[in-house]
Structure 1
Amino acid sequence: FIRPAWQKLLADLKKKRGQTDLVLFTKWDRFSRNAGDAYQMIKILGDLGIEPQAIEQPLDISIPENKMMLAFYLAAPEVENDRRALNTFHGMRRARKEGRWMGPAPIGYTNKVTEDGRKYICPVEPQASIMKWVYDELSTGKWFIDQIWKAASDKGLKTGRKNFWQIIRNPIYCGRIPIAKYKEEEAHTVMGQHNAIVSESIFYKAMDVLNGRNKPKKTTISSPDVLPLRGFLICPKCGYMLSGSASKGYSKHYHYYHCFSKCGVRYNAEKVNKLFVEELKKYTIDPLLHAAYVMILKQVYQAFSSEDNNELSNVKNQLEEFNNRISKARDKMLNDVILDFEYRKIKSDCERNILILENRLIDLSRGKENIGELIGKATGVLKNLHETY
């Protein structure tokens, strides 16, 4: 009833009230396919003294008994519409669970059709390479998302800022299809049939950055060779960082560390640098004791990392437990002990926990295989600390 032609007709009927007493149409489903809207329009026409009438399904709606038939005529097309919409919804949801992307391909992909008529998506260049670059750079935490969007636009990515914010969180780029929550089935993702543009680890690192859980903070201090301690020394009077600069003498420049405040602190840079080197020599390891230091540090590290070893064992046990839970749930589904949607929910929950535990396992295992080499390098630096400086 919001179509322009009907609105124009209704306006004419109101303007020429009393000159029309009948509105004809072929069937009641041509009048409306929504029962609520149909009853409301029948009342509006009735107030204007106009009777709606179907040519092939004539009804005298002034007779109370005919209202039952009218209700059927109006409800049947609405039920048909709802059934068609529900079938379409379940069909699209089933296709998503099979790993198929429904609808227009997102940026970086293109829609294609196989020889047997099945639709699918595949990466398309150069958009796919740009999206991969976006996730790689975003996962480092060195960029703001607006900077990433502008840089990607300069590279040739054609999308607006608002759309970029939405697509960047889509797990389709790591090879997974999102399934929305429906009734008792929780929202989850399934492995897609398409090729991923980025790995899951890079994708979830980027998501951590977007969610504020992985934003490294870094301070860079730049100093010339003659003022290596500029920005690292603290003023003994006011507590500010000492800066450094050169003063022109009669025959050359003399460098000083000084404070910008009114306290007037100022030190000769050459003398301070020599005193700092002499101080570093106090912390130099005797080369004859180098092997002993390495052995002691290994023992101390093993003592402190015993808790990590226990956690590593616990993580492995939890991984095995979740995998066993999926296997048991699969057996129960095959034996009709649980329903299919219950198995999918159990599997989705377990896979989510497995992914978290696998990342934790990587963090706990990282660096342990070459700890002896790292300790050797660190103590090697301490053997000649002042020369390294």
Structure 2
Amino acid sequence: MLIADLYIRVSTDEQANKGYSQRDQHERLERYCNQNQITIGQVIFEDHSAKNFNRPEWTKYINHIKKRSLKSNLVLFTKWDRFSRNAGDAYQMIKLLLGNNISPQSIEQPLDMSIPENKMMLAIYLAAPEVENDRRSLNTFYGMRRAQKEGRLMGTASYGYVNKCTEDGRKYVGLKEPEASNMLWAFNEIAKGKYSINQIRLKMNTMVQTLAVHHSTGQ
């Protein structure tokens, strides 16, 4: 009798940007099992990147496998990129699963591992998501470098400043009070050379707290 654990994974950015849905994956996997007379064991929901297998729910699942506490002989997922986006790690994990008599299988990209030629298809299915990740990282790197060359600040503005946007959509950094005045005071004190940076930091924290108390009491 075939007993399958269902692995349903989506990372936050994938769900937001690509429309992946845990519910949709679950429905497709359940339908596949019903059509093929496969008994469903565990259903594992994961909200984590597939760049490696350091994922909370997957780690728990592997621990159950190693303890021989599962009766399943299959782990099903919709596509191979739900399983992994790192070909090297994926091969090692497949070996571990098969060594524990559990076969990993994608219902939309099924492969008969007993056919040698299918290993070439497996390599493609596993490498494609990794290449996509690498390309995205490279594009991000070049985009950030270009922005820095143009004098644009990347990420959240530092203390004393705030991220703003013009009417035509151009982003820039503007001053934020009273934080900007606090930073100006701190730099002036550093320039005097009378106090250490840590002493100035503590004095500024005291000033900020005092202003906050006055503001809350209306003084």
TM category, shorter: 0.5 to 0.7
Residues 295-317 of structure 1: CA deviation (Å, up to 9, x unaligned): xxxxxxxxxxxxxxxxxxxxxxx
RMSD of Structure 2 on Structure 1 (CA): 2.0
Stretches (4+) displaced over 6 A: none
The corresponding residue for 2:99 is: 47
Change (3 A) 1:17 1:48: farther
Q: 1:27 aligns with which of 65, 71, 79?
A: 79
Q: In the alignment, is the contact (CA less than 8 A) between 1:13 and 1:20 conserved in 2?
A: no
The corresponding residue for 2:150 is: 98
What SS does the aligned partner of 2:105 have?
strand
Distance (whole Å) between structure 1 residues aligned to residue 125 and residue 209 of structure 2 = 52
Change (3 A) 1:53 1:66: same
The corresponding residue for 1:80 is: 132
Distance (whole Å) between structure 2 residues aligned to residue 53 and residue 68 of structure 1 = 15
Distance (whole Å) between structure 1 residues aligned to residue 156 and residue 122 of structure 2 = 41
Structure 1 unmatched ranges of 5 or more:
159-389
Q: Which amino acid aligns with 2:183?
A: M
The corresponding residue for 2:6 is: none
Aligned pair count reads 158
Change (3 A) 1:129 1:46: same
Distance (whole Å) between structure 2 residues aligned to residue 42 and residue 157 of structure 1 = 56
Identical pairs, percent: 64
Q: In the alignment, is the contact (CA less than 8 A) between 1:17 and 1:48 conserved in 2?
A: no
How far has the Cα of 1:13 moved from its partner? 2.9
With structure 1 as the length reference, what TM-score do the two structures score? Answer: 0.38
Structure with the larger RCO, 1 or 2 (CA within 8 Å, 6+ apart): 2
How far has the Cα of 1:152 moved from its partner? 1.4
Residues 259-280 of structure 1: CA deviation (Å, up to 9, x unaligned): xxxxxxxxxxxxxxxxxxxxxx
Change (3 A) 1:83 1:148: same
With structure 2 as the length reference, what TM-score do the two structures score? Answer: 0.66
Q: 2:88 aligns with which of 15, 36, 47?
A: 36
Distance (whole Å) between structure 2 residues aligned to residue 17 and residue 60 of structure 1 = 26
How far has the Cα of 1:97 moved from its partner? 0.9
Q: In the alignment, is the contact (CA less than 8 A) between 2:164 and 2:171 conserved in 1?
A: yes
Q: Which moved more, 1:25-34 or 1:116-125?
A: 116-125
The corresponding residue for 2:112 is: 60
Change (3 A) 1:157 1:77: farther
Residues 77-134 of structure 1: CA deviation (Å, up to 9, x unaligned): 0000110111111111111111111111101101112222222211111111111111
Change (3 A) 1:21 1:152: same
Q: In the alignment, is the contact (CA less than 8 A) between 1:27 and 1:55 conserved in 2?
A: yes
Q: In the alignment, is the contact (CA less than 8 A) between 1:127 and 1:157 conserved in 2?
A: no
Change (3 A) 1:17 1:146: closer
